[in-house]
Structure 1
Amino acid sequence: MPKYESLLYINGEWCSAADGGTRAVINPATEEVVGSVAQATDSDIQRAIDAAQRGFEHWRSVSPQERKSILKRVAARILEQRESLAVSITLEQGKPLEEARLEIDRTVDAFEWCAEEATRTYGRLLPQRKAGSREMVIREPIGPVAGFSPWNFPAAMAARKIAAALGAGCSMVIKPSEEAPAICAGLVQACHDAGVPPGVINLLLGPSDKISTRLIESSVIKKISLTGSVPVGRKVSSLAGQFLKPVTMELGGHAPVIIFDDADVEKAAAMTAAFKFRNAGQVCLGVSRVFVQQNVYEQFLDCFLAHVSRLKLGNGMDPDVTMGPLANQRRLDAMEAMVADAKARGATVRYGGKRWGDQGYFWEPTVITDIGDDALLMREEPFGPVVPVVSFVNFEEVIERANQLPLGLAGYAFTRSLVRSTAIVDALEAGWLGVNNFSPALSEAPFGGMKDSGIGYEGGPEGFASYTQIKFVSQDSL
């Protein structure tokens, strides 16, 4: 496959960086250079900001019905290119091609749902207090938005931001990860092809610190949306706070999975293994800590290990592969540190535990037991294919252990008891819960975390509304 160059998109045109600067994009399965990504300069950033301002002044006056029609065309264009866009994800990010195809399907769904939601941004008419008066609440687009999307789901996460912002009548400057830029460029091209006017969507690529600082400090940008790590979220929200700008932050998690003794243990083991190692464990909602009730612990562990042993590791372009590489060298280093820490504390590596092969960023699917809650793996999100499986005695104990971290993005439980299901939903401190399943990421559902896992929501009416602001209007007849 020929190497490509991911360009900037500013005011309806594709362009190189002002100084021609680029950076290589690496295939994590082969460590080969597959393309280059432009490195925006200060002047490029300012041009994108100016374009977003002009684009907003036009786009805000476009009717919701017309915005709906355009976003529907964006979705159709993405669907037409499903295979080529999926290939770009796999080449840059590493996940198996079938997983990449499913991510494109989620991307299409996001644009289609936000297209419909554009015509459902209702206000409210208050009961009349006196003759001849009207009091109402109306919603309007908040203004130009800066969006920062991650490398682990480079299509779906960018789509959530772009589709909602444009559907609400905002313009956007989107900044994706430099490690997986081509798919976001593909989404922007779909917007271009569908007739999104110049300046309404702009794409910047390059150094994250410089671009994020310039965008947040600009008086043009009215809202910030970030999907990223907790440390990055703290930095971005702190800077935004200096300028009193609203933020949406979807940050890290450390999701517990609780297997009670009345669950279908074999089914729970199969589902947990499949979900844990999807995208090589690089899933913010993914399985991080598995708690199994003591009297079914060995049964679950045997079933879980059997499913893990059947995973096929390799290049995501191979149709037989079920787990690809990690996205970068940083994740390999993190896996090595976590496994080493667990071993030093007396934990047992029951499966995997080391780098796989001598080319690419591959790490074996790894299962660790006999590990204490003080281990690094139990305290920090692994964001990779390493999982601890530990036992617990009763409901009160496991809830305390599951909730003891300052993170609360997702949590899951398996039980046949309706009473216990209700109790676990009430007790777990997480914004995204699944009982006897791993909650699907639906466009119509809000997605956000508690505690240090985020601020606000992406998706659903709640996420869409965050791209609007409210006016209260009181009107009398003279």
Structure 2
Amino acid sequence: MLFIGGEWRPASDGRVIDVLNPATEEVVGQVASASAADLDDVLAAAAEGFAVWRRTAPAERAAVLDHAGRLLLDRAEAIAAVLTEEQGKPLEESLAEVRQSAEYFSWFAGEAVRSYGRLLPTAPGRRSWVERRPVGPVAAFTAWNFPASLPARKLAPAVAFGCSIVLCPAVEAPRTAAALVQALDDAGVPPGVVNLITGDPPQVSEHLINSDVIAKITLTGSVPVGQTLVGLSAKHLQSLTLELGGHAPVLIFDDLTPEQLGRAADALVRAKFRNAGQVCISPSRIFVQEAVYDAFVDAVVERVERLAPAGGAAATPPGAPTSPLSPLANARRRDAVAAMVSSSGAKIRTGGVQPDGPGFFYPPTVLTDIPPTASVLTDEPFGPILPLLPFSTLEDGLRQANAVPYGLAGYLFTASTERADAAIAGLDVGMIGLNEVALASAASPFGGVGLSGYGREGGTESLEAYTVATAVTTKGAP
């Protein structure tokens, strides 16, 4: 179903898209495929919704968001079940994602009443100030890998700061996004403020962006899609926020004790294979200082081989002693990961053999002795591949870490404050974790540099993404 102007409805021409469970390859539902007429309707609804919402008091917007966040928590288990069914990740991870989405709603409820401007000093008899105004109707495009938290990261600031929004979730996992929209509708958001469209991605994006209604575009997706949307936006010069993935480096320094190396291995294995590596900030190039390289490789391989076998993610109950592995998005992604491993010329320390049975699974795979020309070092793997490479000095490590055009996230593990400060200063990324792999939160800006995109979502920086600064200067009557 489409959500347009406060109403759920089918596509005007009746077209639908099948939704598959990637863990079983079974059809688990259908969603509407919007027609051109439906897209015209949603643009008109978003324009009308913006006219109302921009004039709504910030405290009222905050109340709606806060209510919607509490509804998400109340419905968390039911929404998580849908998320696991259509996306494939373990139920425990799905539940955590829904709760994180509720956190975005509640946090931005607080920010709605803090969209401060500033008073400017000026000459006597004059007044001058800067105020933040909502940018306008937003077209928001989200990816498959986090079908709750990615839409929430866009819905929450748009609603908080007075924008209307047309949410376009990935057609592989759209029903979770629909549950978030339903929570906002139940919380009292006026018709047209929040809308949801599913359909053919090129048709939807081109139609929405080519209109003169959409003032802002936000995308979480691939570099090619981001480049396409930038080109489409040239006609109307809409503002853009682009989060386009990355190829996150990790620096492991030789000052760590064996116990500290073990904890670093625990953290990286957990972060790398969460969601089958389909995480834009997933550690994907691990550089280990030479003196501890062999010991760290052994520690990682030992931990990876203890992971549960691929398959059966949806059937494993929350709290299982070892988390099962998530499937990949589809057969194309699974085959691309397999091709990246087979063509790498690297030594496969564990994994590398596709399992039998249904589902788009690929095993956790650790690579060493990697040729410098291997694509796994230059292209984002977006899958369960963990390459380990040695480095000598800090300068050598930073050179290798910064050798790709992506710059979303980076990580380092060291007990030395001096090394930490130097490495943090030298990493060309938008987010850095020091002895930590959990980077995303409602209060923290999320985004990168280079081909990882530009703009930030999350944190107070979202105010800049969803509002425009208007300068006002006044003087007494002429």
Whether TM-score is above 0.5 comes out as: yes
Q: 203-212 or 317-326, which moves further after superposition?
A: 317-326
C-alpha separation between the residues in 2 aligned to 1:439 and 1:362? Answer: 24
Residue of structure 2 in register with 1:4 after alignment? none
- Give 1:393-408 correspondences, 5 Å limit: 393-408=392-407
2:281 to 268, 282, 285: 285
TM-score for both structures, normalised by structure 1: 0.97
Does residue 315 of the first structure (1) align with residue 312 of the second (2)?
yes
C-alpha separation between the residues in 2 aligned to 1:106 and 1:397? Answer: 37
Contact 1:224-1:246 within 8 A present in 2 as well? yes
- Give 1:289-308 correspondences, 5 Å limit: 289-308=285-304
Structure 1 alignment gaps of length 5 or more: 1-6
Identity %: 47
Give 1:322 deviation, angstroms: 2.8
Matched letter for residue 312 of structure 2? N
C-alpha separation between the residues in 2 aligned to 1:124 and 1:75? Answer: 30
1:274 to 267, 270, 281: 270
2:210 to 200, 212, 217: 217
C-alpha separation between the residues in 1 aligned to 2:438 and 2:272? Answer: 13
Does residue 199 of the first structure (1) align with residue 192 of the second (2)?
yes
C-alpha separation between the residues in 2 aligned to 1:180 and 1:84? Answer: 15
C-alpha separation between the residues in 2 aligned to 1:76 and 1:267? Answer: 35
Give 1:8 deviation, angstroms: 0.3
C-alpha separation between the residues in 2 aligned to 1:154 and 1:387? Answer: 24
Contact 1:432-1:439 within 8 A present in 2 as well? no
Structure 2 alignment gaps of length 5 or more: none
C-alpha separation between the residues in 2 aligned to 1:224 and 1:79? Answer: 28
C-alpha separation between the residues in 2 aligned to 1:308 and 1:37? Answer: 37
Does residue 165 of the first structure (1) align with residue 165 of the second (2)?
no
Does residue 351 of the first structure (1) align with residue 347 of the second (2)?
no
Give 1:194 deviation, angstroms: 0.4
Give 1:452 deviation, angstroms: 0.8
Matched letter for residue 465 of structure 2? S
Classify the secondary structure of the residue corresponding to 1:146.
strand
Contact 1:373-1:379 within 8 A present in 2 as well? no
Does residue 426 of the first structure (1) align with residue 419 of the second (2)?
no
Residue of structure 2 in register with 1:412 after alignment? 411
1:241 to 234, 251, 259: 234
Q: Deviations over 1:204-259 (max 9, x none)?
A: 00000001001111101100000000111111112112321110000020001110
Q: Deviations over 1:298-344 (max 9, x none)?
A: 111111111111111322221234312112112101111101111xx
- Give 1:443-462 correspondences, 5 Å limit: 443-462=442-461
Classify the secondary structure of the residue corresponding to 2:343.
helix
C-alpha separation between the residues in 2 aligned to 1:331 and 1:102? Answer: 25
Matched letter for residue 197 of structure 2? L
Q: How well do the aligned residues superpose, as a CA RMSD in angstroms?
A: 0.9
Residue of structure 1 in register with 2:86 after alignment? 92
TM-score for both structures, normalised by structure 2: 0.97
Does residue 47 of the first structure (1) align with residue 41 of the second (2)?
yes
Classify the secondary structure of the residue corresponding to 1:277.
helix
Give 1:376 deviation, angstroms: 0.6
Residue of structure 1 in register with 2:67 after alignment? 73
Give 1:357 deviation, angstroms: 2.1
- Give 1:118-129 correspondences, 5 Å limit: 118-129=112-123
Does residue 375 of the first structure (1) align with residue 374 of the second (2)?
yes
Residue of structure 2 in register with 1:8 after alignment? 2
1:326 to 328, 342, 354: 328
Give 1:465 deviation, angstroms: 2.4
Q: Deviations over 1:381-401 (max 9, x none)?
A: 000001111111111111111
Classify the secondary structure of the residue corresponding to 1:391.
strand
Paired residues in the alignment total 468
Q: 456-465 or 57-66, which moves further after superposition?
A: 456-465
